[in-house]
Structure 1
């Protein structure tokens, strides 16, 4: 699929308009950016994807003062595809009121509608490590990894107590198909990570495994969505 210069300019302006509309608080005009059924994927931030432009708007309002005061969108690359859709990559720099900033990458799918080009899918990638590295070192571990370890060990202890109660009241045969071996392994991994130095090359991989295992307790009231792998 070839793309006319006018379309490339329109798409680039579409991507750039996001920062202006959001920073100006014009959330009632998000339909100028997104299709009505847009999927706004923020799973890399531990959240569920936002589905529909109304959900995107509500999420922005919910953030309130936590929103950046300025979104700077740069490095826009437009790549047409044979299916008629257009893939667009860009970078975002967000400046908060306290002067702190963060960087993300946007992967967008843009489609032509009766009202012009619109974003139908956006994936937001946080930039936290140089050279495209991700989940490769201790710096990429969640700051609250200690809390996660304590949470996981507490849940393992609870489950072990529950199995002990079953064994006492019903009999050991009731535990033949239990998850006791997995509980022992989970507890061992959590304890090993607590004792492991931050410079240990195994630390990041083990932290990821712990986040995966902790998902078994995602329904527990003390589980934090930020712990999701």
Structure 2
């Protein structure tokens, strides 16, 4: 599908329903693996060389993601929804999802994930994930809003 967005023209290739189901399963497994710290199952979610984050704060590899997650106290469950998918010319899939976290004190936070998934011999896996905090107060325990995602960043 070719779309014109202002001065930007993009070609979006929709993802077939079987592939979408596989990818949505991976995204659901992410929350289960991370929230339950079931690191033996991390290979069902990530590539071995996954990049989590961007810039200097990015972590590479499953063990680095594990180290980062283990520092978060108290931990909070993740709920992922509103995922949109598109196939890239190089065969990867881009996913853009909303997430909600519920903290132990009952407060909530939200944001977005933008993922690049690759097809491996084990199925689809997250090769790169970037998160953006959205709709949060300045004094939010997880940090203030940092909403930086747009359709332009999703298409990069």
**TM-score, normalising length from structure 1?**
0.51
Q: Which has the higher contact order (CA 8 A, sep 6+)?
A: 2
- For 1:18 and 1:42, locate their aligned partners in 2 and report how far apart those are by CA, in whole Å: 18
Q: Which has the higher helix share?
A: 1
The answer to whether the 8 Å contact 2:99/2:113 transfers is yes
Seen in structure 2, the aligned counterparts of structure 1 residues 140 and 96 have a Cα distance that, compared at 3 Å, is: closer
The match for 2:114 among 103, 107, 111 is 107
The answer to whether the 8 Å contact 1:128/1:140 transfers is no
Deviations 1:117-153 (A, max 9, x none): 0000001001036xxxxxxxxx76999xxxxxxxxxx
Which residue of 2 is the match for residue 11 of structure 1? 23
List aligned pairs for 1:149-188, cutoff 5 A. none
Unpaired stretches in structure 1, ≥5 consecutive residues: 130-138, 144-229
Q: Which has the higher strand share?
A: 2
Aligned residue pair count: 129
- For 1:141 and 1:59, locate their aligned partners in 2 and report how far apart those are by CA, in whole Å: 22
The answer to whether the 8 Å contact 1:12/1:78 transfers is no
List aligned pairs for 1:73-222, cutoff 5 A. 73-128=80-135
How much is the aligned-residue C-alpha RMSD, in angstroms?
2.4
The answer to whether the 8 Å contact 1:84/1:111 transfers is yes
Unpaired stretches in structure 2, ≥5 consecutive residues: 1-12, 142-156
The answer to whether the 8 Å contact 1:74/1:91 transfers is yes
Alpha-carbon offset, residue 42 of structure 1? 5.8
The match for 1:67 among 75, 93, 104 is 75
